[in-house]
Structure 1
Amino acid sequence: MSCECGRATATTRAERKTLRIALVLNATMFVVGMAAGLWAQSNGLMADALDMLTDATAYALGLMAATRGIRFKQYSARWTGATLMLLSVGIIGDVVRRFLFGSEPLGTAMVGFSLLSLCVNVTVLRMLAKYRGGEVHMRASWICTRADVVANFGVLASGLVVLATGWRYADLVVGVAIAIYVAKEAAEIWREALNPAERSSALSER
C-alpha cells in the first residue's frame, strides 16, 4: 500500500511540475500573441492567442485538481470545455466584425508568430503526451494543447497566403476554422468529463 501511495505522490508531483511549466509558457505566449494580433490586424493570430489563454486557464485548473478528488477533476475538465466553447463564440464574433468593417492582416507577422507559437505548443504537447490516457483533468489539458497545435498550422497557412497574395479573407477563413475546431475539442472534453470514474476503471483494466 505504501508503495502505491508513494508512486501516486510522485506522479502527482510530476503532473504539477508539467502543468506549471505549461502555464507559464502559455500565459507568456498569450500576451505576446495578443500584441502581435492587434498590431498585425489578424483574427487568426488573436484567436490563436486567446486559445493560449484558454490553455493557461486549463493548466491552472489542472494544478488545482491534481491533489483533489475525482469529482473536482471532473468539474475542472467541464470548466475547461466551457471556456473553450466561449472562446469559439468569441472568435466567430470577431470574424464577423472584421468582415463587416475590414482589416489588413500582415502576413509576415502571422507567419513569424505562428512558427514561434507552434514551437512552444509542440513542446508542451510532448510534455503532456504521457498523461493523455490518464485522469480527466490531464486529458483535458492535452486536448487543449492539441487544439493549439492545429490552430498554429492554420495561422501559418493563412499567413503564407496573405503574404503571397494579399488576400485578407484567408485570415478570416482560418479564424472560422479555428473556432469550429475549438468547439469540437470542447465537446470532446465534455464527453471525457461525463464519467471519469468509469474511464479510469477501464484504463486500469488494460
Structure 2
Amino acid sequence: MDKTTFKISKMDCPSEENLIRMKLDGMASIKNLDFDIPNRELTVFHEGSLAQIQKSIGELNLGSQIISTEFTEQTLFEENSHQKKLLWTVLAINFAFFGIEMTTGLVSRSMGLVADSLDMLADAFVYGISLFAVGGTLIRKKRIAKLAGVFQLVLAMLGFVEVLRRFLGKEAMPNFETMIVVSVLALIANGICLYLLQKSKSKEEAHMKASMIFTSNDVIINIGVICAGVLVNWLQSNKPDLIIGTIVFVLVVQGAVRILKLGK
C-alpha cells in the first residue's frame, strides 16, 4: 500500500475536510484518509491511482501539492464511530448561527453579519451533504451538491446587489454593538465546532491548540466583522461594514463553486 501526503494550503477548517472526503468518496483504491487541519496536510493511504487522486483533489482548487509518497505496511485504521454524531452537532451549531446572524444582520442593518450568516450556511451545507449522502448513490450526492451550490450562489449574488445599493445610496448606520456581540458569539461557536471535530481525531489532540483555531477562515471572518463594528462606531460610517460584507460574499461564492464541483 502507498502512503501519500498532500499539502493543502487552503484547508482552513473541517468544512474543507468534508469537501475533500466527498470528492474522493467512491474511489476503491483509497483505504483511509488522515487529515491534519492545523498543519494543512492530508495523508492518503491507497493502492495505486495516485494521478486520479491528485487530479480529484486539485479540482477543488484548495492549493494542493504532494509532499511525499512512500510504501507502507499499515493496513489497520482506527474508525471513529462518533463521527456522524459530531457532524450532526456542528451542522446544528452552524445552521442555528445562520439563523441568528441573518436575523440580527437584517435588524441591525449589518451586511457583515448577513454575509457571515451565509458563510455559516455554507458550512452547514457541507456537513449536511456529508450526512444526507451517506449510503446514497453518487448521482444523489451530486444532485444535492448542485442544489446546495446554486442556492448559495443565488444568496451571495443578492448580497452583492444589496451591498452595491448601500454603497451608492444613503443608508442608516448599522448597529455596531449588535455586530460585535453577535460576532463574538459566532467566534465562540466556530471555535467549539473546530475543537469538537479535531478532538475526535485522537486522544493526543484532546487539548485545543491555538493553531487549530486561528487557521480557520471562519474565525478570521468573525474577527473581521468585530473590527468592522469597531470602525463603524469610530468613523461613524457604514463603509467598514460594507467592505467586510463584500469580502465575505466573495468567500461564500468561492465556497459555492467548490460545492458545485462536487456535482460534476
Q: TM-score, normalised by structure 2?
A: 0.56
Amino acid in the other structure paired with 1:96? L
Give the direction of change, closer, same or farther, for the CA distance of 1:78–1:111 in structure 2 (3 Å limit). Answer: same
Amino acid in the other structure paired with 2:192? T
**Contact map agreement 2:190 2:218 (CA 8 A) in 1:** yes
Q: Is 1:163 aligned to residue 250 of structure 2?
A: no
After TM superposition, give the deviation of residue 116 of structure 1 in Å: 0.8
Give the Cα separation in 2 of the matches to 1:20 and 1:169. 37
Q: Which secondary structure state, in structure 1, belongs to the residue aligned with residue 82 of structure 2?
A: helix
- Structure 1 stretches of 5 or more lacking a match? 132-145, 196-206
Which among 92, 111, 114 is matched to residue 24 of structure 1? 92
Which among 153, 174, 183 is matched to residue 105 of structure 1? 174
**Contact map agreement 2:105 2:111 (CA 8 A) in 1:** yes
Of residues 29-38 and 42-51 in structure 1, the stretch that sits farther from structure 2 once superposed is: 29-38
Q: Which runs of 4+ in 1 moved over 4 A?
A: 128-131
Q: Is 1:42 aligned to residue 148 of structure 2?
A: no
Q: Is 1:117 aligned to residue 186 of structure 2?
A: yes
Same amino acid, percent of matched pairs: 30
Alignment RMSD = 3.1
Give the Cα separation in 2 of the matches to 1:78 and 1:177. 23
Q: Which secondary structure state, in structure 1, belongs to the residue aligned with residue 162 of structure 2?
A: helix
In the alignment, what sits opposite 2:59? Answer: none
**Contact map agreement 1:105 1:168 (CA 8 A) in 2:** yes
Of residues 61-70 and 110-119 in structure 1, the stretch that sits farther from structure 2 once superposed is: 61-70
More strand by share: 2
Q: Is 1:65 aligned to residue 138 of structure 2?
A: no
In the alignment, what sits opposite 1:148? Answer: 218
Q: Is 1:186 aligned to residue 250 of structure 2?
A: no
**Contact map agreement 1:54 1:83 (CA 8 A) in 2:** no
Larger radius of gyration: 2
Amino acid in the other structure paired with 1:108? E
Q: Which secondary structure state, in structure 2, belongs to the residue aligned with residue 19 of structure 1?
A: helix
Give the Cα separation in 2 of the matches to 1:19 and 1:74. 19
Q: Which secondary structure state, in structure 2, belongs to the residue aligned with residue 153 of structure 1?
A: helix
**Contact map agreement 2:190 2:219 (CA 8 A) in 1:** yes
Q: Provide, for residues 15-65 of structure 1, a one-character-per-residue CA deviation record: whole Å limited to 9, x for no partner.
A: 321221112212221232223212321111112123323433433332211
Q: Is 1:55 aligned to residue 123 of structure 2?
A: yes
Give the direction of change, closer, same or farther, for the CA distance of 1:180–1:49 in structure 2 (3 Å limit). Answer: same
More helix by share: 1
Give the direction of change, closer, same or farther, for the CA distance of 1:17–1:51 in structure 2 (3 Å limit). Answer: same
